[in-house]
Chain A
Amino acid sequence: MAKVRVQQEDFDIGAEFAALSAGRTDIGGLGCFVGTVRETAKGRKIVSMTLEHYPAMTERALARIAAEAESRWPLLGCTLIHRVGTLLPGDNIVLVLAASAHRQAALDAAGFLIDWLKTRAPFWKKERFADGDETWVEARAEDDAAAAKWWAGPPSRAAASTG
């Protein structure tokens, strides 16, 4: 049911909304998250960002993340599209859509999907700065904490994984 895609080209948010809801009248809400390339990183201007991934694993990892969301919320559809290659400030990076009969499930599932994607899908970002310097983006503890809050397990487990 989930639509999962990895691609170099941009995605059309309106077209993806339309595809998810085409011919359906049971959907009451669509939750959406779009990640875009920010022009600054740690106070420095970037000129581009290059996304690398592990092709054999990526779509499987995304499908698994979508399946986890579908097991937690009564979703009527979800879409995960992630771009790879070299992107410029302002470009779209990732699209998450989650459809459900009611808004809370749609919004929560969209939040869950992006939080888990950030910590469980094999993508890596490299930023290129105006002076030609290039650095790999480091994983952030805040992202681990954001993902950990979705653990259904005991609080101690979430606390442990946030370090």
Chain B
Amino acid sequence: MNQPAPTVTRSAGLTVLYFAWLRERTGTAEEVVAPPVEVATVGALIDWLIRRSPGHATAFASRDTVRCAVNQDFADPETPVRPGDEVAFFPPVTGG
């Protein structure tokens, strides 16, 4: 009868990763969040994340400089997000 509650909670959440100045501005490299079900796209997730802290609001202040990947594939604001996904936010890449 014991419910594996922590596991359920984790799998129901979204893992959000931040890189480069998004990590610095949000003050976190990784967090597990549980947004309401209507948060179903990357764009909606950003709308929801910016209310988490002033740092989050600053990080997403100029959205055209924020890039995203869902489950390690490049994504855009219309890309669906589901519980269990890994969503990463970062600036335009500058390797090479």
Interface residues of A (CB under 8 A from B): 35, 51-54, 56-57, 60-61, 82, 93-94, 114, 117-126, 136-139, 143
Contact = CB atoms under 8 A, between A and B. Distances in A.
Contacts of A138: 91-92, 94
A122 B90 contact: yes
A57 B88 contact: yes
B54 interface: no
B72 A123 contact: no
B72 A57 contact: yes
Interface in B40-96: 69, 72-74, 86, 88, 90-96
Interface of B: 17, 19-21, 69, 72-74, 86, 88, 90-96
A93 to B, nearest CB: 7
A93 B95 CA distance: 9
A116 to B, nearest CB: 9
Contacts of A137: 94
A78 to B, nearest CB: 15
A7 to B, nearest CB: 13
Interface of A is mostly: mixed
A113 B94 CA distance: 14
A56 B69 CA distance: 11
Contact of A123 (B17, B21, B94): B94
A118 B92 CA distance: 10
B91 A53 contact: no
A52 B91 CA distance: 12
Contacts of B88: 54, 57, 122
Contacts of B94: 118, 123-125, 136-139
Contacts of A143: 96
Contact of A118 (B19, B73, B86, B93): B93
A118 B88 CA distance: 18
B87 to A, nearest CB: 12
B72 A121 contact: no
A53 B72 contact: no
Contacts of B73: 57
Given A54-B72, A57-B73, 10 more contacts: A54-B17, A54-B88, A61-B72, A82-B96, A118-B95, A119-B93, A123-B95, A124-B93, A138-B91, A138-B92
Contact of A60 (B72, B86, B95): B72
